[in-house]
Amino acid sequence: MLALGVDTSNYATSLAVVDTTKREVVCSLKEFLPVKEGELGLRQNDAIFHHTIAIPALFKEVESNLPLHGVNCVAASNRPRPVEGSYMPCFLAGVSAAAAFAAGRGLTLHTTSHQQGHLAAALFGAGLPNTETFLFFHVSGGTTELLLVKGYEIVGKLGGSTDLHAGQAVDRLGVRLGLPFPAGEALSLLAASCTEEVAPKISVKGIDCSFSGLENKCEQLLQQGHSAAYVAKYCLVAVADTVAAMALEARRQHPGVPVLLAGGVMASDVVRPRLAARLGKVHFAPPQLSADNAVGVALVGAKEESHG
């Protein structure tokens, strides 16, 4: 089965085609939404505008890799998370484009949440079965949650941030340092250049955490004259140590359940090794499937199509 996935998050326009028979990503394309220097994201009407501009060009690029008439399953993300009241207008752009494509070929449009797309992509990228139970950390600019999942389905939320998301703390610091938004990749590169040791304080209670103090601490460190690289490292190590503390408590409460981590923040080359050192055996999605992408959306659609 060739499944087409469309994801229009508040960060990027993404299209992907997955061959589920061969378990192969045929193509995965992404274009970040343009954000003016110094700004933290876009208003929803601006995001929809940029998605509308980007989608036709990405479809044309997909066609150059694979004739789209071979696609026999279409899926799109239609909301951030699979919970009541979860809604962002930017997802309407992707749903509209995918619905038109599906209707033109007599196919059924399957919809899922952006978060379930992250989950499916993480399972696929880590080579894990989509039928077993996992402790799933989704750590990004819009979400910092620890979820109990079974396959592509979210059984329940176990914990998460009570204020800022980890990605918000990362992006706010990045923009403060003059880095482009979203700032995760650039901040990680900057942090990797720091050879000094950092020992951040974290705020974790059980499986819940707080990042507002981290934002304030980073600003304080800058005011004290610490280098940008040092503060970047401090921020990312703090995020890693926070997630590690939450994971250790989650393992205590759910012994034997494996841990899977994904989301844009989990793509950091600073965060991942720190977590692996603290936690031992954990599962990461590859960086390209950890941040926003449409691969997981295509996979969820293919599963629904095969069970249709």
| Confidence class for position 308, pLDDT limits 50, 70, 90 | low
pLDDT in tens, 72-105: 999 999 999 999 999 999 999 999 999 999 999 9
Q: Is the pLDDT of residue 5 over 70?
A: yes
What's the maximum distance between 2 C-alpha atoms anywhere in the chain?
62
CA dist 201 → 13, 50, 69, 246 (Å):
36, 39, 54, 14
Distance between CA 182 and CA 289 in Å, rounded? 16
pLDDT in tens, 11-25: 999 999 999 999 999
| Confidence class for position 65, pLDDT limits 50, 70, 90 | confident
Q: Is the pLDDT of residue 39 over 70?
A: yes
- pTM of model > 0.85: yes
On average, the pLDDT of the chain sits at 96
Classify residue 145 as exposed, middle or buried by CB count within 10 Å of its CB (0-12, 13-18, 19+).
buried
| Confidence class for position 293, pLDDT limits 50, 70, 90 | very high
* 149-158 mean pLDDT: 96
DSSP assignment string, 281-294: S-EE--HHHHSS-S
Q: Is the pLDDT of residue 47 over 70?
A: yes
